[in-house]
Chain A
Amino acid sequence: MKKLLILSGKGGTGKTTVAGAFIKLSNAKAFADCDVDAPNLHLIMEQKTKPIKSDYIGMGKANIDLGRCVSCGFCEKNCRFDAIKLDNACYKVNEFACEGCGVCEAICPASAIELFPQVSGELMLYKNDAVFSTAQLKMGSGTSGKLVTEVKRQLNLGNINTDLAIIDGSPGIGCPVIASLSGVDMVLIVAEPSLSGISDLERIIRTAQKFDVKTVICVNKYDTNIENTLKIEKLCNMKGLPFVGKIPFDRNIIAALNKGKSIIDVDCAATKAIKSVYEKTINILN
């Protein structure tokens, strides 16, 4: 099974729109949403049945047993995350700041601290004619890279015999993106023709290259700034990265998305362009 990951660096360039269209165009039997701290793919991938849900257990959080605490302050002094503070003469853990490293638990002379596992999100697996793996991070729990890895593991467990899996990624270049990059065959970057978009594109290209993943690039909303689109084409040329096409800005797309539809259900200029981007991308992937 070949895995195509869709990334962008900058947010809001159209990853999910493109991913949704690719899934429909390829009739993909396996797909996943790895943007666990702002997932959206499920909004346009209507599913007939309810998903199989499971808890995602993230890092533990420290808890102080005040009955045992001798107020030595050793935990506060050694916590690198400033997660333990004296509050009304009692040491308390700020669970948003606690990273679950376990230093306080290990060093407490009164054995008053214990890490408790936390439900940090929910994994969802839809199994209809296709397998769709997605998840939602629980607000305030923080760690998203590990949940991304779980979403991909769940997709593999779907155990479906298919040639192609499409994975919608998250913005940025940090841990969720790095976690999503591992084990994929190719990355399609959806770029945006703004100076911000170009700066972010260069950073995500460098990140993908550090992890040795083959990369192709398309531009979305290209006609909102033709000059910048040209700059992106030149950039791809210079770096020797395949440029697989450009999609125009099209209000029909917003209307279709708000109705929960994928853009290939609409007959418009953007749809034609995205079909061409799809064909070029799949050719290179294979």
Chain B
Amino acid sequence: MKIAVLSGKGGTGKTFVSVNLVAASSNAVYVDCDVEEPNGYIFFKPQELITQNVSVKIPVVDPNKCDGCRKCVEFCKFNALAYIGGKIIIFDDVCHSCGGCVLLCPQKAVSEKEKVIGKIETGISENVKAITGILNTGEASGVPIIKKLIDDISSNCNLNIIDCPPGSACVVMESIKDADYCILVAESTIFGTHNLNMVYELIRLFKKPFGVVLNKCIDGENPSEEFCIKHSIPILERIPFCSELGKANSNGLIAVREIPKYKELFSALLGKVSKEVQG
């Protein structure tokens, strides 16, 4: 079972919900797909780390074979190659590793080299296996790391919680593509509601079953709750704003392991979600 946790807006509590759901389960894997700013490891402090580099293929041109026909330059939709001063210049950071330049070069002058763009760390924290994708700073796209994280999820584990990046662009699409169910985390501000609307559209496009967790609820109006009611979206849980919880969270503590009432809350939420997925 693969459950993706996403929100559109940043800082609504995706990592908080993901980490605690995993911690409340007896046999779960936590997969951090927010490779630009991964945070789950701060909570789990995983031990026995295994590190694996993730690389992409970048073209290399053999100047002795290149006859300057510029077929590669004209082909590249990402403008990753240019012909300047009688030779081909390659811009690694905009290359999408499609391999087109290699296929099309009439002189077979283009080959590929591996370029490391980040890594995946796997470790253990009590009953939890925590997997973190980390993009190197200065790199533009974490998609290849997310792709590897998602492809490597083993099918024999009962529960995999996928902590997604914020937004609604390619990195989010890659993170949710194989999910059996999506949990949308929304906060009670008009910003939260606007971005909830965006990811709501996105997951309907992907035809995923889903429910909403309303986080940091305060007394008074909750535009995100109103949105859910208006669109008949199931509300899985309402988590009240609580400064004790906020403090624990900001210090990298897992609420489920520290405060008994959150163990209850997240166990119940996990039960609800499992039922939704199976039913």
Interface residues of A (CB under 8 A from B): 8-13, 16, 35-38, 40, 43, 59-60, 78, 80-81, 96-97, 99-103, 106-107, 137, 139-140, 142-145, 170-178, 192-197, 199-200, 203-204, 206-207, 210-211, 224-225, 228, 251, 254-255, 257-258, 260
**Chain B binding surface SS class:** loop
Q: Roughly how many angstroms separate A60 CA and B223 CA in the complex, as a whole number?
A: 37
Interface residues of B (CB under 8 A from A): 8-12, 15, 34, 36-37, 39, 42, 75, 77-78, 93, 96-100, 103-104, 135, 137-142, 165-173, 177, 187-191, 194-195, 198, 201-202, 205-206, 218, 220-221, 223, 243, 246-247, 249-252
Q: Roughly how many angstroms separate A137 CA and B167 CA in the complex, as a whole number?
A: 10
> B165 touching A10 by the CB < 8 A rule?
no
> A225 touching B251 by the CB < 8 A rule?
yes
Please name all residues of chain B whose beta carbon is closer than 8 Å to the beta carbon of A140 when the two chains form the complex: 173, 202, 205-206
Please name all residues of chain B whose beta carbon is closer than 8 Å to the beta carbon of A174 when the two chains form the complex: 36, 135, 139-142, 171
| Residue ID in chain B nearest A100 by CB atoms | B77
> B252 touching A11 by the CB < 8 A rule?
no
> A192 touching B77 by the CB < 8 A rule?
no
> B75 touching A38 by the CB < 8 A rule?
no
> A102 touching B77 by the CB < 8 A rule?
yes
The residue in B37, B99, B218 that gathers the most chain A C-beta atoms within 10 A of its C-beta is: B37
Q: Roughly how many angstroms separate A61 CA and B99 CA in the complex, as a whole number?
A: 17
Q: Roughly how many angstroms separate A171 CA and B171 CA in the complex, as a whole number?
A: 13
A140-B202, A143-B169, A145-B140 given; A257·B100 CB < 8 A: no
With beta carbons under 8 angstroms apart, the residue of B12, B167, B218, B246 that contacts A170 is B167
- Enumerate the 8 nearest inter-chain pairs by beta-carbon distance, A residue then B residue, closest first: A11-B10, A12-B11, A194-B250, A101-B98, A142-B170, A172-B36, A37-B167, A196-B39
- Give 17 CB contacts A-B under 8 Å: A10-B11, A11-B12, A11-B37, A11-B166, A12-B187, A38-B198, A40-B190, A139-B201, A172-B37, A172-B166, A173-B135, A177-B36, A193-B250, A195-B251, A199-B39, A199-B42, A206-B137
The residue in B93, B137, B205 that gathers the most chain A C-beta atoms within 10 A of its C-beta is: B137
A182 to chain B, nearest CB (A): 12
Q: Roughly how many angstroms separate A187 CA and B73 CA in the complex, as a whole number?
A: 34
B5 to chain A, nearest CB (A): 13
A103-B103, A139-B198, A258-B189 given; A225·B166 CB < 8 A: no
B125 to chain A, nearest CB (A): 15
